[in-house]
Structure 1
Amino acid sequence: MKKGEMLIQSNEFSPEMMERHQPLKGKVALVTGASQSIGRAIAERLSRDGASVILHYRNHEHEAQQAVEAIRAQGGTVLALQADLTERGAIEHLFEEVHGHFGRIDIVVANAGVPHRMPIIEVTEEQFDQVFAINTRSVFFMLQEAARRVEPGGRLVVISSSTTYYPTQGVAVYAGSKAASKLFVEVMAQEIGQRQVTVNSVLVGATDSGFLEEYPLEEKQRIAQSSPMGRLGTPQDTADVVAFLASYDARWISGQHILTNGAAHI
């Protein structure tokens, strides 16, 4: 790898490959915050695995429609639905819409979230409330509604952050808002496991999106070197782990937190 370059892996899937490998055929998956980045990659991967996908978005309608077109171009079944997940009633309505269109729901991926980086002494009350409303409160009520509606043998996955394991300066509010879901996952796995429903989280490490999107190349390179693999994560890295957790093969994994950071300690 030349200096100044970053190794980013990608995967190409043909329609023929999709037809041969569809472990989620017949399943219905709801992915929140799926108009771009990690959420979109998850939606696309679950679609390739055969699931009918509900692509939730809040503000990015244009990007959501682009994601829908991309999934349909690959032969997938997808529906985009808008909702403000900070409103409890909007979450209920979102699930009602899913049932109205597909009659069931098997997989729920709580991915919607907002990044935040600021020293504790500078955080305002408004900023604190906004981050926790999206990253904590909405995740709790998404899981609550999913627990009520998901089919037996269903899969619930929360997208969290490696900052809950490896905190750094400026992430107190963000990491704190994500840390709560650790307990949500562990308790809910106990409460609904009788229906063979699994509940897990994915703790995403440094990824070339979100927090790092606006970072200078030199800083991204420095962070990439914290992994022995010498690169940043990609949205597809996370999507592939979610696809496994959504599959039958992951039936005995529940109440767990999968760290996807390429062995980096950052």
Structure 2
Amino acid sequence: MTSLKDKVALITGASRGIGRAIGERLGREGATVAINYRSRPEEAAEAVRAVEEAGGVARPFQADVADMADIRRLFAEVDTAFGGLDIVVANAGLPFIGVPVVDVREEDFDRIFGLNAKGSFFVLQEAAKRVRDGGRIIDISTSTTAFTAQGMGLHAASKAGSKLIVEVLAIELGHRGITVNSVMPGATNTEFIKDAPQEERDRIAAGSPLGRLGEPDEIADVVAFLASDQARWLTGQHVLANGGARV
């Protein structure tokens, strides 16, 4: 894979889980990584160390990407710190609330849509303004936008909008050589699922022909490819990274 040396990457929600794995992977390719976090500075510091141990350069940047002012401040601070941006990974999001549509509360809707829909939209908007020509914009979506399942209505709906924005931005930014794609993970072995009962974990794992959950570094590998020069002819695409599951 082409090295990401001299490239600057911003990853939102990068202090743990998939975001942290992405930061470490891009750092291994030589990127300078801006680690965004909202409220856990100690976890962000650990993520920075992981990037540095992988051979990259990293700094933490606090911002709540559900807040417009914070989004603009975040991008401005990264721009000032590193002199520009080449890669933006819109990863921050809230996990699914597995309840039937009829049981969704207004406060749940506002909280989930506030980050997964509004936050993602304006992170992608700011990325479109800031990323240098020839850059990469990657949205971390979810396989629930491709395969419906009971209890996934709120989560899938909150992510569906950014899937369409990816396609629109790919058209709007193509003349600048910027590619815009999304990655759609399935069930991944992060902190959101590690504490689930083993019976539930086994049930979810059985949905994949490979018979297991995905790992954060497997999602990170897909993102690293999309961030590389090898993916220069891919844009407006959605990569389903869910181990072949159909549920």
Give the TM-score normalised by the residue count of structure 1. 0.89
Q: Verify the 8 A CA contact 1:22 1:48 in the aligned structure 2.
A: no
Q: Which moved more, 1:54-63 or 1:64-73?
A: 64-73
Q: CA–CA distance in 1 between the matches of 2:24 and 2:2?
A: 13
Once the two structures are aligned, what percentage of the paired residues are identical? 54
Q: 1:224: how far off?
A: 1.3
Letter paired with 2:15: S
Tell me, which stretches of 5 or more residues in structure 2 are unaligned? none
Counterpart of 2:189 (choices 193, 196, 208) is 208
SS at match of 1:30: strand
1:196 maps to which residue?
177
SS at match of 2:132: coil
Q: 1:22: how far off?
A: 6.2
Q: How does 1:243-254 map to 2 (within 5 A)?
A: 243-254=224-235
Letter paired with 1:66: E
Q: CA–CA distance in 2 between the matches of 1:22 and 1:196?
A: 17
Q: CA–CA distance in 2 between the matches of 1:161 and 1:74?
A: 27
Query: Structure 2 vs 1, CA of residues 150 and 62 (structure 1 numbering), >3 Å: closer, same or farther?
Result: same
1:55 maps to which residue?
35
Q: Which moved more, 1:209-218 or 1:163-172?
A: 209-218
Q: CA–CA distance in 1 between the matches of 2:135 and 2:42?
A: 30
Q: CA–CA distance in 2 between the matches of 1:213 and 1:166?
A: 22
The count of corresponding residues between Structure 1 and Structure 2 is: 246
1:18 maps to which residue?
none
Q: 1:73: how far off?
A: 3.0
Letter paired with 2:26: L
1:86 maps to which residue?
66
Tell me, which stretches of 5 or more residues in structure 1 are unaligned? 1-20
Counterpart of 2:49 (choices 69, 89, 94) is 69
Q: Which has the larger radius of gyration?
A: 1
Q: CA–CA distance in 2 between the matches of 1:217 and 1:159?
A: 26
Q: How does 1:127-146 map to 2 (within 5 A)?
A: 127-146=108-127
SS at match of 2:128: helix
Q: Verify the 8 A CA contact 2:29 2:56 in the aligned structure 1.
A: no
- Deviations, residues 38-62 of structure 1 (Å, cap 9, x unaligned): 0000000000011000000011221
Question: Which contiguous aligned blocks of 4+ residues in structure 1 show a shift greater than 3 angstroms?
Answer: none
